[in-house]
Structure 1
């Protein structure tokens, strides 16, 4: 089979962004290497696309060294070089239009027939079931969210019980934030997370307030504010703790408490706080044991999700050997979430790429694609892993790497 030589700028991805910002700041590769504690060879390899900067802590240090934001480095402008790499743009635009109208009830409008609060609440629950249960959740929810969010705002503005309306609205904002975070559209996801928290506070619902903090922490992490994300999660957990002191705590609150600690563990790992990350993960593990076999319907917090986050912590800490070893022991089929199962496979592929095991990496990515085409196609990490695999061009992996890169729009068909 003939080799394909994709455009070098397409393969470099994040590396080309790093090089551009470094040159604009007047920083040499030698200077950058010294500032971030890496070798000149490592910096050169990343900029040339021969390896990817797989740890967020590295990107944080690089951004600080060259005077830019992390999002400037992990943006996806190169993806537009290939056709079809901005999926569901119309869906995002439709959601954006509703988000921009949301602060003014008059702009949302009142339909002739008001939606019933119970009906909208049930549709929010259905949306979460779709998110965790469908391999095409991104596509399916993209078509549903604009109307769901509009109806939730209408219920909030017109319901006799404003707190009940606020609870439904908080749920609608939460599933919208989840979708936007994975598309991804970071700015809109941040707005949705903030609106979810505002609605939760109005509802005076401790469970929704905790989930609001969990959602906001993801936006802080995406923006490179790992310490703030950790503080936010732990502050929200502190609010919940007094409610968990009795012998039979509310299961929703217990799940939220555990999920906050999992999110904080990821933030700590991204900040290279090894000991703290595992201490937080251990608290979450205790909460999962107390829940037994139950899983939270929105966050999917439970014992399997705790195990998945343990693998993710190792991945964020750059421990490729531990990632691969743990992946062999995990029973991911026990976790009732397509998105969570796909994520652990992507992290496993990340470990194989770090170890130079290209054939194993692409086989795991193909497994992930089988679980959720949407998650693989929209993952920036998958794009970076494939760029590195394309650049290395190992013969035994080549056919499958090129085929997957075409399917997700990374190289032209």
Structure 2
């Protein structure tokens, strides 16, 4: 291997500090940025990366893992004896069937008539409703997706007119959107990106503003979750989609207005990840104004955008800005009972737990994660932030808290060898 080649952090001889630097460089994150987000000095990060300071204790290691979005904790620590996935959850047993449906071609001859776009849209609406109502939502939609993917692809192929083809493409795009909710945080990132790209292509072919908005919303999230080096791409995707939707907004129906509001929040979310406080809250204000024009009972089936979700969104902005006290204030103010979706409620509980953890209220954070588990166990099992908090608290010096965290870690499958 050439001397100037980038080392592989998975090779065991590489020390913790070297792994940290390699992973930080791969994320496109500067040393001062990493230091600021960790609450440490730049010189501390430099000393750790140079091996002048040994591997920190587990709570700090987990914060570094969260910051660098490592999939497996051993990628950072080098300890391969007990791998622990953080931001990639377990592979669902229905993932192979969904993958096969995505990868299959519909070029062969078939005597079966494709369902109409209207029929597919009705099935899709039922699938979204089932997802929101189910605690085991990946199980539910994983069962429905292979048939939906195949039928939507067939509908596009068999469309007789340009109008029918556009309608079928709009449905296919949303089927891919549902697929992204299933595939996210599972061990096949290439499949996630393939589905995201296909969803965007189908949306553009449909020329439907709502479909384009949803595809852009999900693509922006995929870019942002890829790390700081991709924040610009996430922001560009969001702003371009908003510019596309803007002319239609004065007369837009509720779902198109809602996707615009969801994109406004996404712009704020990315700004918060960058530590841009004023910009982040400015976008939240715009999203709040958009939510206010929607009926009080309206709830967007894909993005969850609604009046009910804005309190939860405020918690997320404060947490991403690392503002512990403000995060807790927003958590107390948010009306979680207004969120009708079980997986979205569980996600909100996790954000609340992050708020309490930031504020030093670890006992309350654990209790809140237990409530997230009650709402939707599959959501918390696949959430890296929740997993990090639970693992950190298994090292607590307080026996009762350590035991409580160990019980929750066992439920999440974190203690499995």
The alignment's TM-score, normalised by the length of structure 1, stands at 0.82
Tell me what 2:96 maps to. Answer: 93
Change (3 A) 1:390 1:120: same
Tell me what 2:154 maps to. Answer: 154
Tell me what 2:336 maps to. Answer: 332
Note if contact 1:234-1:264 (Cα within 8 Å) is conserved in structure 2: yes
Deviations 1:306-350 (A, max 9, x none): 221111011101011111122112111112222221112111111
Deviations 1:88-147 (A, max 9, x none): 44322222222223xx4326x636454444332222111111222211101211222122
Note if contact 1:96-1:188 (Cα within 8 Å) is conserved in structure 2: yes
Of the three residues 197, 200, 223, the one matched with 1:197 is: 200
CA–CA distance in 1 between the matches of 2:277 and 2:94?
39
RMSD: 3.1
Tell me what 2:347 maps to. Answer: 343
SS in 2 for 1:285: helix
Structure showing the higher helix proportion among its residues: 1
Tell me what 2:265 maps to. Answer: 262
Note if contact 1:149-1:173 (Cα within 8 Å) is conserved in structure 2: yes
Judge which range, 359-368 or 34-43, deviates more. Answer: 34-43
Note if contact 2:299-2:306 (Cα within 8 Å) is conserved in structure 1: yes
Report whether the alignment pairs 1:223 with 2:226: yes
Change (3 A) 1:363 1:115: same
Tell me what 1:3 maps to. Answer: none
SS in 1 for 2:236: helix
Of the three residues 237, 249, 265, the one matched with 1:244 is: 249
Of the three residues 304, 307, 315, the one matched with 1:303 is: 307
Change (3 A) 1:89 1:374: closer
Tell me what 1:207 maps to. Answer: 210
| 1:184 CA drift (Å) | 6.4
Number of equivalenced pairs:
377
Tell me what 1:50 maps to. Answer: 59
Note if contact 1:352-1:361 (Cα within 8 Å) is conserved in structure 2: yes
| 1:393 CA drift (Å) | 4.3
Note if contact 2:149-2:175 (Cα within 8 Å) is conserved in structure 1: yes
Tell me what 1:234 maps to. Answer: 239
Note if contact 2:262-2:303 (Cα within 8 Å) is conserved in structure 1: yes
CA–CA distance in 1 between the matches of 2:21 and 2:276?
30
| 1:77 CA drift (Å) | 6.1
Change (3 A) 1:169 1:392: same
CA–CA distance in 1 between the matches of 2:387 and 2:111?
42
SS in 2 for 1:105: coil
SS in 2 for 1:106: coil
The alignment's TM-score, normalised by the length of structure 2, stands at 0.81
Report whether the alignment pairs 1:36 with 2:40: no
Change (3 A) 1:377 1:153: same
Report whether the alignment pairs 1:280 with 2:289: no
Judge which range, 332-341 or 117-126, deviates more. Answer: 117-126
Note if contact 1:169-1:196 (Cα within 8 Å) is conserved in structure 2: yes
Report whether the alignment pairs 1:400 with 2:400: no
Structure 2 spans left out of the alignment, 5+ residues: 1-13
Change (3 A) 1:162 1:47: farther
Of the three residues 405, 412, 415, the one matched with 1:411 is: 415
**Which structure carries more relative contact order (alpha carbon 8 Å, separation 6+)?**
1
Change (3 A) 1:111 1:355: farther
| 1:76 CA drift (Å) | 6.2
Change (3 A) 1:20 1:138: farther
CA–CA distance in 2 between the matches of 1:339 and 1:381?
15
Judge which range, 273-282 or 43-52, deviates more. Answer: 43-52
Tell me what 1:11 maps to. Answer: none
Tell me what 2:364 maps to. Answer: 360
CA–CA distance in 2 between the matches of 1:378 and 1:92?
14
Note if contact 2:177-2:196 (Cα within 8 Å) is conserved in structure 1: yes
Note if contact 2:184-2:192 (Cα within 8 Å) is conserved in structure 1: yes
Report whether the alignment pairs 1:133 with 2:137: no
| 1:390 CA drift (Å) | 1.0
| 1:82 CA drift (Å) | 6.8
CA–CA distance in 2 between the matches of 1:110 and 1:276?
53
CA–CA distance in 1 between the matches of 2:379 and 2:111?
35
Note if contact 2:72-2:84 (Cα within 8 Å) is conserved in structure 1: no
Change (3 A) 1:51 1:213: same
Structure 1 spans left out of the alignment, 5+ residues: 1-15, 60-69
